[in-house]
Structure formats: C-alpha cells, structure tokens
Amino acid sequence: MDIQTILSIIVVIGVILLFGLLQSGNETSSSSQSKQRELSKEDWIYYEIQQKQREIEEAIVREEHKTKVSILMKLKMNHLKTICAAESLDCPRTRRKDELANYLAERLDLDEVKNWAWRYKTASKDEIKAFREVEKALWKEFEEFKAEKLKELNINVEDSEDDYSFDYGELEEQSYGEDEVPGEPDILDILEDFHPETVRDEEDLEKQLYQFLRARLGSNVRRQYQVGDQKIDIAVGDSVGIEIKIAENRSKLQRLVGQVLDYVEHFDEVIAVILDVGANVDIDNYIKKLRQLGTEVVVLEGNIKRKGRSREIIIKDARRKIIIR
C-alpha cells in the first residue's frame, strides 16, 4: 500500500469521525428543540415555567443548607455532638467541625437548627433574615419570568389558573427568632479589647493575656491548666481553653495543631492566639487547619526588634493588630 493510499484512508476516517461528532452535538443541542416541537406553544411555555420553578426551588434548597451550616458553625463542637445524640443521629466520628455541621444541616430543617441555636444562646437572627431575603428575591425572579412567559399567550398572571404564585406575605410575617438570651461573656469579644505591650517571648504574651482576662473574668481564669499529660496556656473555667504561639517557624504551628487535637476533646471551645511576626510559615494554611478542627483563631501582628543578643516583639497598633480569622 503506497503512501498516497494511506493518506486517503486517514482523510476518510477523519471526515467520518468529524461527522459523528457534529451529529452528536446536534442531537444534544436539539433535544430541547425536539421537545418544543412535540408540544404546542401554550404547553411549551407552561413547560418552561415549570422548569424555572424547579430551578428556583433547587437554588432555595442550596441557600437554606448554607444558612444552616453557617448557624451550626457558630456552635461549639460538643454542642454539635449533643445535637446528634438528642436527634438520634448516627453522626460521623470526626474532629472537623465543618463536617459535623454539614452532616446536621442535611438532616435538620431550618427551624430545628434555629431552636438548637437558641437553646445554646447563639444568635441566628441575621443568618435567617439574610436567607429569607434571598428566598424572596428568588421567588420574585420566578414571578417576573412567569409573567413574561404568560404575556406571550396574552394571559395575565392574575388570570392564570396554575398555582405558581408565591405569597410574599408569608415571608414578611415569619419571625426571625426570639430575642437571643444573653449568655456567658464571649471570650472572642473580650479578646478584641486585648492590647498587649512589647513582649520577649510566648511566656510574656501569656502573662499579659492572663492578667487581662483575670481582670475581666476573675478567678475563673487559670494559667498552665492541666489537660491530660499536657498543660494548656490559659483556661477559662472548664469550658474554654486558650493556647498561645509566636509564629516564628512552621514547627511551632505544627505543634499547635497537634495540641489542639487533644484540647478539643476536653473543652467546649478552644481558641488559638497566634502572634504573626512576618515569618514565611504559610500561616493561612495552619489557620485553615485549626478552623477545620473547630478552633477559633485570633491573630496578633507584630515585628521582631533585636537589641544585641536580646530581642523584643513590637505589637502593632491596636486598631490594626487583631484579626479574627
């Protein structure tokens, strides 16, 4: 077989393959067109309205799920485990708060999540209000789409017998939740008022934070609190543990993640206070890991200033220095 014959065969095969691809594309793109040809104009328009309604309903389900997760993530890890037990759910064995929140969000409705948040004195009003506004906007989008389609049939929305309408009044009348019952002081809120001075090391920072919290919360605050075979830097009662690290190198942050793995089993809430001194340690990655474990993270920013063999860490302006991530 000569080269000319081989080239001719290749060209023929290429043409056949190209034709097949074009046919496949045409079949896909024409599926809705064939559907339209099967229906009368009126039936097709009602079909489009039904499809739009289904699309809106699916979007609302997704938004509601995100809202439930957002509320559940505000609860403490042991609260989520308690909810699992109370609701007789076979929750996954995980130390990741986001996994547990997603699991519960798939199995509880929004009212149930709101009630659990209220029971644990956690605000959910803003999240629910935001969801209701999105829900209302989506249904408004559907009503506008429906009106436009019915106009093609010279039918007013009011004259349509199909039950596509949505009662916006229901949304306006829905309660966004009772006023939240004030609970114990929120440690994160208190930490926003913490203005540390120049420090030499973690022990200095720990002492300053301990004195600050002790002044605000009294004898309930303890240093070097025993947790198993380790000691956490600061404990507030038996429910909140605080571990402090200066992010000078990756090994310190790796150790912090390991410590938190143990601490989350003993405390309702674990807070990691990290002093970022500008070292190249991929701090955001470690913050992400800590948050996945259900830990709150507070980042202070500072600069290391060396004086001979000694050094000082200058904490930046209080208005800029504290970042809760």
Got the DSSP string for 63-74?
Answer: HHHHHHHHHHTT
> Which is more confident, 191 or 12?
191
pLDDT band at 173 (very low <50, low <70, confident <90, very high): very low
pLDDT > 90: percent of the chain: 22
The C-alpha atoms of residue 260 and residue 270 are separated, in whole angstroms, by 7
pLDDT > 70: percent of the chain: 72
Residue 273, pLDDT score:
92
Are 301 and 316 in contact, with CB atoms under 8 Å apart?
yes
Please compute the mean of the pLDDT values over residues 165-170 and round it to a whole number: 44
42 pLDDT more than 60: yes
Residue 257, pLDDT score:
92
pLDDT tens profile 275-294: 888 888 899 999 988 888 88
pLDDT tens profile 43-77: 778 888 888 888 999 999 999 999 999 999 988 88
Residue 37, pLDDT score:
53
Average pLDDT over all residues of the chain: 78
Residue 38, pLDDT score:
53
Closest CA to 213 of 225, 231, 201: 225
Query: What is the pTM assigned to this prediction?
Result: 0.48
